[in-house]
Amino acid sequence: MLGSLARWLRILGYDTAYDNRIEDDEIIERCRLEGRVALTRDRRLTQRFRLRGCLLIEREELFEQLREVLEAIGHEIDLNRLLSRCLECNSLLESVDKARIRRQVPAYVCKTQSHFKRCPGCQRIYWGGTHRLNIYQRLKTRL
């Protein structure tokens, strides 16, 4: 239910696990083991957690949900963390030499971009670091 929120939390650089097929007990256990806070729209689930460890997301709109999370943890958007994680698998991205990924990206991209990052988890390649500032400024005005 919170797939878009999870994706945006990854864009913001937060370590975000997402699985919409697991049962409540598993969510509680995983949060305990991995030191995670559960985000949920399910009021019943929040009652099963102790006081900490679960945040009920009450708003419908994505950016309002993001604001709810940031307010709850007392954070502002951090430009340095932005786009530091893989959007697919949540791993922290690593800088990679252009020469090493030349064959894995379109020729046009290779010609026009100079900084690349690779996901050590799923090997996906990311570029377009210059968009980071644009995304940051857009988020700043909305959050």
- Asked if 122 touches Zn ion (CB under 5 A), the answer is yes
Site string for Zn ion, 68-87 (x = CB under 5 A): ------------------x-
Binding to Zn ion (CB under 5 A) within 12-71 occurs at none
In the complex, minimum distance from the CB of residue 56 to Zn ion, in angstroms, rounded to a whole number? 29
Cβ-based nearer residue to Zn ion, 53 or 121: 121
User: Which of 9, 27, 83, 119 is close enough to bind Zn ion by CB under 5 A?
Assistant: 119
Nearer to Zn ion, 78 or 88 (CB): 88
Please give the single-letter amino acid code of residue 36: R
With contacts defined by CB under 5 A, name the span among 31-39, 89-97, 108-116, 134-142 that binds Zn ion.
Answer: 89-97
* Phi/psi of residue 123, nearest 5 degrees: 70, 5
- Contact region with Zn ion (CB under 5 A), list: 69-77, 92-100, 111-119, 132-140: 111-119
Single residue of 121, 125, 128, 135 touching Zn ion by CB under 5 A? 121
Calculate helix-pair angle for 3-11, 62-73, nearest 10 degrees: 60
Q: Please report, as ranges, the residues that interact with Zn ion according to CB under 5 A.
A: 86, 88-89, 91, 119, 121-122, 124
